[in-house]
Amino acid sequence: MVNIAVLGYGTVGSGVVEVIRTNGKQINRRIGNELNIKYVLDLRDFPGDPVSDILVHDYTKIIDDPEVDIVVEVMGGIEPAYTFVKTALERGKCVVTSNKELVAKHGAEFLSMAKIRNINFLFEASVGGGIPIIRPINSSLTADIIEEITGILNGTTNYILSKMYFDGADYDEVLRDAQAKGYAERHPEADVEGFDACRKIAILSSLISGQQVDYEDIYTEGITEITSRDISYARKLGMQIKLLASSKRNDDSLSAIVAPFLLKQDHPLYGVNDVYNAIFVRGKFLGDAMFYGQGAGKYPTASAVVADVVDAAKHLHRNIMTMWEERKLNLVDSGSVCRRFFVRLEGNGQEQLADIKRCFGSVDFVDAGFQDELAFITPVMTEDTYREKAADMSGILHMIRVEEPR
């Protein structure tokens, strides 16, 4: 028998319990052993719930029990999750988690601890929810060099941008709709400001580089400044605006960014709408591949967590090698990255045209029928060059980066 303890009985934790109990026979066949949920840890009581007879409030009861083989952490946040996970690994217990914040900050440390003890720290659900991406990088793609990972990694922002695009609604209106439907939190800053996607691309960047990528080093911009006018211009261009989290190889390092981008119709992520997520991978020999599905939610995330539990149970006392050292990778300076920029400028007269020509030279103008502003796409230039030119020009209303084929 393989005994597990589930830390946290919220949305994901209750999903994990339900998946295991519903699919128990199939899971046991795949493990070759019986999987048993021995404890569920939560501060709350759940009278009448099937877990009430295995519910505990004290973590030491789990950590002191030598029969617990796998600890499943689905509480979220850094503390007490960090302390609980570290203690479990120190005691020789495998750990499975969906906690992206914890993995981004301490993943390398936990992997090192697991390797020394010949156990496992697994975190498939921390990036794509139900979309498998960690395991493919760690196993299926190990013979290749990953040149790029670019993803729509947050369902809340993708839902908002999709509704704005297809329904013509304003940002504030769609955000309220998303909150009413449970797609956005009451305090949605982690999603709409790009922080959630930033932690996820930091994890993926660490995995493809084999070194620690700190999410604090990744330039991050959210979607709160996207307006219905931006959407109108995107339609005119035959493009869509998506919040991308992207990491691209640059010699021995990576350039990484989280920001809204204009995508052309031939981009693989162009048609990913609603709450769906997708991750585009480009390998040196593989070429292009896509991973698509529900990036969040109770059952998709729980399914990925349980898949890791099965993997851990099949590899008890045998470490699954993951290349992610604690040595920090210094990212390429974001200011040196070249791209084109879509710019909206207040005014529509000869003075503005002269300023555009003086600062940016030859540009591609975009006419969406607005009489009080001009819009254009710049030539290719570095981020630093754009900032210098934009600082020399008054009246810029908004800028959105343009994702070009590489």
Point out the residues that are catalytic. Answer: 200
Contact in structure between 307 and 315 (CB atoms under 8 Å)? no
Tokens 């052309």 correspond to 264
- Give the integer Cα–Cα distance in Å for 260 and 71: 37
- Give the integer Cα–Cα distance in Å for 356 and 393: 8
- Joined tokens for residue 259: 């920001």
Strand ordering across the sheet containing 68-73: 55-56, 35-41, 2-7, 68-73, 94-97, 121-122
Phi–psi pair at 192, nearest 5 degrees: -75, -20
Amino acid identity, residue 215? Y
Q: How buried is residue 357: exposed, middle or buried, by Cβ count under 10 Å (0-12/13-18/19+)?
A: exposed
Taking the mean position of all CA atoms in its chain, how far away is CA 78? Answer: 17
CA nearest to 295, candidates 312, 317, 273, 310: 273
- Joined tokens for residue 145: 């060099």
Contact in structure between 269 and 280 (CB atoms under 8 Å)? yes
Give helix then strand counts, H and E, for the chain.
Answer: 15, 17
Contact in structure between 221 and 259 (CB atoms under 8 Å)? yes
